[in-house]
Structure 1
């Protein structure tokens, strides 16, 4: 849950470097979550 809140904040603030760092350090499962939230945000 805390990851979800932190990622939501990063996406809203445009902190792309931090998101890429999470992916690089083995948090690839978060990529799916991020993409899904971005797509949902664009369609709502």
Structure 2
């Protein structure tokens, strides 16, 4: 059986970030904050 728990967890993180993002002045800052919160380390890995 497949579960969408990972997707739901990511969606919940995004909702939390959007609630906290009212102080951001532009979308790029918001995007970087979301990536940092989700564990992005700044390196793109190409498989």
Q: Which has the higher helix share?
A: 1
Bigger relative contact order (CA 8 A; separation at least 6): 2
- Normalised to the residue count of structure 2, the TM-score between the two structures is 0.30
Q: With structure 1 as the length reference, what TM-score do the two structures score?
A: 0.31
Structure having the higher Rg: 2
